[in-house]
């Protein structure tokens, strides 16, 4: 028998230890950045105490990944648990409590990584120790990868593991970011489970014009045309494409809502009116942005470059654009939409592109995850959803691994804080009871699925 009050406390203690190790990824890609080694070693120590044999794997010094396995009988392929150990920066002055102190106030553990995603690292570690200790007869190996460098694009973390150490992490399914946290909408509780994530298409658009002297203004200079293009892009939406996974999400959420929200939401799935509904009937700007990102490819202008001397009109001006593509949308189709939105006939150069990933919710594992959440919160509604960002799921997709976002946390429905706003935000924190709930749900989900 597992004593959940003891295991919950262990999980909380481990999470607090991990938060106190400041694995801040500044995105330099260098050996000294983030320094995930200390956190990886902390986890490895917990694994060794449970009789497991963790491996520390690095592509660059101190950018450490920890991988560990509990063996099953091999009759079914492995299940992988994944959490990244790096975190984004925290501006301590803007926080109410030390972002690396892991202090407990008002029932919450405060600190960078509490949600994104040292909670999953701590929960997975505890689950591994329980699987080892309970000597359960598992049909699948369970692998736990605690990885480096996710916040800067995964090159030293999950991509390194998938490309250079595939046998350490090869699995049929992965559970990781982002999902199974409770979200409250109009008095109902939902548990989104990530089944898809958008692709990335970073583009540089270049405008060329006649160079000239600053004393002779040119209304068609590269800089002026670039500025017009950026304004156009910022003020219009790309065309709406309500893809199946998003329609399914919206319909399942709408079903539980009262009128009139139910009807407003449902109409978002009709491409002809979606933009209208979004702009005029969805009042909350946060919801507007998040539904907008679900229903279309998006393009954010982020870096502008032109000129170097105040009295010279430069002959070229560029804007870098962070493009995100829906599953099923080709890069060519996205570039066509982008060209149309920018106007002015720019040269487009793709700087980086990563495909979208999608896993069907019509699997035994998805149904098991949803049932497990409901067992632990009978008032909650699990719903499959797509995230606009990207996660380590992209790296494992290269090995054919299907991923779900499943890092369970329960928030108090009365609490004002929203999960998504704490991602990379100030005052990131997680309810102590929500972590204890989460580790139990994760254990049930993993052991239940891997025993059969
Ligand atoms: Zn994350």
Question: Ligand 1 center to residue 113 CA distance, Å?
Answer: 8
Question: Ligand 1 center to residue 392 CA distance, Å?
Answer: 9
Position 1 scores a pLDDT of: 87
Question: Ligand 1 center to residue 177 CA distance, Å?
Answer: 7
Question: Ligand 1 center to residue 119 CA distance, Å?
Answer: 11
Question: Ligand 1 center to residue 442 CA distance, Å?
Answer: 18
Position 286 scores a pLDDT of: 79
Question: Ligand 1 center to residue 84 CA distance, Å?
Answer: 7
Question: Ligand 1 center to residue 117 CA distance, Å?
Answer: 5
Q: Which of 181-185, 287-291, 378-382, 420-424 shows the highest mean pLDDT?
A: 378-382
Which ranges of 20-106 would DSSP assign to H, the alpha helix? 37-49
Pairing, β 357-358 against β 188-197: antiparallel
Question: Ligand 1 center to residue 205 CA distance, Å?
Answer: 29
25-43 pLDDT tens trace: 998 878 778 899 999 999 9
Percent of the chain at pLDDT exceeding 90: 82
Position 27 scores a pLDDT of: 84
Question: Ligand 1 center to residue 185 CA distance, Å?
Answer: 23
* Helix or strand run (H / E) with residue 306: strand 298-306
Question: Ligand 1 center to residue 116 CA distance, Å?
Answer: 4
Residues, beta carbon < 5 Å, ion ligand 1: 116-117
- Of residues 285 and 150, more confidence is placed in 150
300-332 pLDDT tens trace: 999 999 999 999 999 999 999 999 999 999 999
The answer to whether residue 173 scores a pLDDT higher than 70 is yes
Question: Ligand 1 center to residue 118 CA distance, Å?
Answer: 9
Question: Ligand 1 center to residue 193 CA distance, Å?
Answer: 15
Contact 212, 313 (CB under 8 A): yes
Question: Ligand 1 center to residue 86 CA distance, Å?
Answer: 8
* Helix or strand run (H / E) with residue 430: strand 429-431
Question: Ligand 1 center to residue 374 CA distance, Å?
Answer: 24
Question: Ligand 1 center to residue 151 CA distance, Å?
Answer: 7
The answer to whether residue 81 scores a pLDDT higher than 80 is yes
Position 211 scores a pLDDT of: 95
Those residues with Cβ within 8 angstroms of residue 41's Cβ, 6 or more apart along the chain or in another chain? 56, 64, 66
Question: Ligand 1 center to residue 353 CA distance, Å?
Answer: 19
310-319, 420-429, 437-446: least confident range: 420-429
249-290 pLDDT tens trace: 999 989 988 888 888 889 999 988 888 888 888 878 878 888
Give the C-alpha separation, 91 to 427, whole Å: 10
130-134, 146-150, 195-199, 432-436: least confident range: 130-134
Position 420 scores a pLDDT of: 61
Give the C-alpha separation, 163 to 146, whole Å: 16
Query: In the predicted model, what is the mean pLDDT of residues 107-111?
Result: 96
Q: What are phi and psi of 103, to 5 degrees?
A: -70, 155
The answer to whether residue 333 scores a pLDDT higher than 70 is yes
The answer to whether residue 70 scores a pLDDT higher than 90 is yes
| Whole-prediction pTM | 0.92
Position 29 scores a pLDDT of: 77
Question: Ligand 1 center to residue 447 CA distance, Å?
Answer: 24
Question: Ligand 1 center to residue 363 CA distance, Å?
Answer: 25
Q: How far is CA 262 from CA 3, 252, 284, 333, in A?
A: 42, 10, 15, 32
The answer to whether residue 193 scores a pLDDT higher than 80 is yes
Question: Ligand 1 center to residue 423 CA distance, Å?
Answer: 8
Question: Ligand 1 center to residue 157 CA distance, Å?
Answer: 13
Position 422 scores a pLDDT of: 64
Residue 57's pLDDT band (cuts 50, 70, 90): very high
Percent of the chain at pLDDT exceeding 70: 98
Question: Ligand 1 center to residue 67 CA distance, Å?
Answer: 18
Position 203 scores a pLDDT of: 97
Contacts 24+ apart (CB under 8 A), 209-214: 209/313, 209/315, 209/316, 209/317, 210/313, 210/315, 211/312, 211/313, 211/314, 211/315, 212/312, 212/313, 213/311, 213/312, 213/313, 214/310, 214/311, 214/312, 214/313
Question: Ligand 1 center to residue 152 CA distance, Å?
Answer: 10
């Amino acid at each position: 028998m597992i004593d959940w009050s003891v295991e919950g406390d262990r999980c909380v203690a481990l999470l607090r230890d991990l938060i106190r190790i400041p694995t801040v990824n500044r995105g330099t890609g260098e050996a000294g950045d983030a320094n995930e080694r200390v956190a990886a070693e902390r986890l490895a120590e917990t694994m060794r105490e449970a009789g497991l044999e963790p491996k520390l794997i690095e592509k660059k010094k101190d950018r450490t990944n920890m991988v560990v396995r509990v063996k099953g009988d091999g009759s079914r392929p492995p299940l992988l648990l994944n959490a990244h150990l790096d975190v984004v920066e925290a501006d301590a002055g803007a926080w109410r409590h030390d972002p690396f102190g892991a202090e407990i106030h008002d029932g919450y553990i405060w600190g960078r990584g509490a949600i994104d995603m040292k909670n999953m690292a701590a929960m997975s570690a505890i689950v591994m120790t329980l699987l080892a200790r309970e000597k359960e007869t598992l049909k699948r190996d369970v692998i736990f990868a605690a990885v480096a460098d996710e916040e800067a694009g995964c090159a030293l973390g999950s991509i390194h593991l998938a490309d250079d150490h595939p046998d350490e992490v090869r699995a049929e399914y992965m559970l990781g970011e982002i999902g199974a946290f409770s979200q409250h909408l109009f008095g109902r509780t939902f548990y989104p489970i990530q089944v898809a994530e958008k692709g990335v298409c970073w583009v540089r658009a270049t405008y060329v014009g006649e160079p000239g002297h600053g004393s002779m203004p040119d209304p068609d200079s590269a800089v002026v045309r670039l500025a017009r293009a950026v304004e156009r892009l910022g003020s219009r939406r790309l065309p709406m494409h309500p893809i199946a996974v998003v329609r399914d999400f919206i319909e399942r959420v709408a079903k539980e809502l009262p009128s009139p929200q139910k009807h407003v939401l449902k109409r978002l799935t009709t491409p002809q009116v979606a933009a209208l509904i979004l702009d005029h009937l969805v009042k909350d700007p946060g919801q507007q942005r998040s539904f907008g990102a679900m229903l279309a490819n998006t393009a954010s202008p982020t870096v502008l470059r032109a000129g170097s001397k105040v009295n010279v009109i430069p002959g070229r001006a560029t804007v870098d654009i962070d493009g995100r593509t829906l599953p099923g949308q080709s890069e060519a189709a996205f570039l066509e939409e982008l060209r149309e939105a920018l106007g002015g006939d720019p040269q487009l150069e793709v700087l980086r592109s990563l495909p979208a990933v999608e896993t069907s919710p019509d699997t035994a594992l998805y149904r098991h995850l949803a049932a497990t959440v409901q067992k632990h919160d009978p008032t909650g509604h699990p719903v499959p959803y797509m995230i606009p960002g990207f996660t380590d799921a992209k790296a494992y997709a290269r090995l054919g691994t299907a991923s779900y976002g499943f890092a369970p946390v329960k928030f108090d429905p009365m609490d004002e804080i929203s999960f998504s706003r704490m991602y990379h935000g100030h005052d990131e924190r997680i309810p102590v009871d929500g972590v204890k709930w989460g580790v139990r749900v994760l254990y049930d989900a993993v052991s239940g699925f891997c025993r059969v």
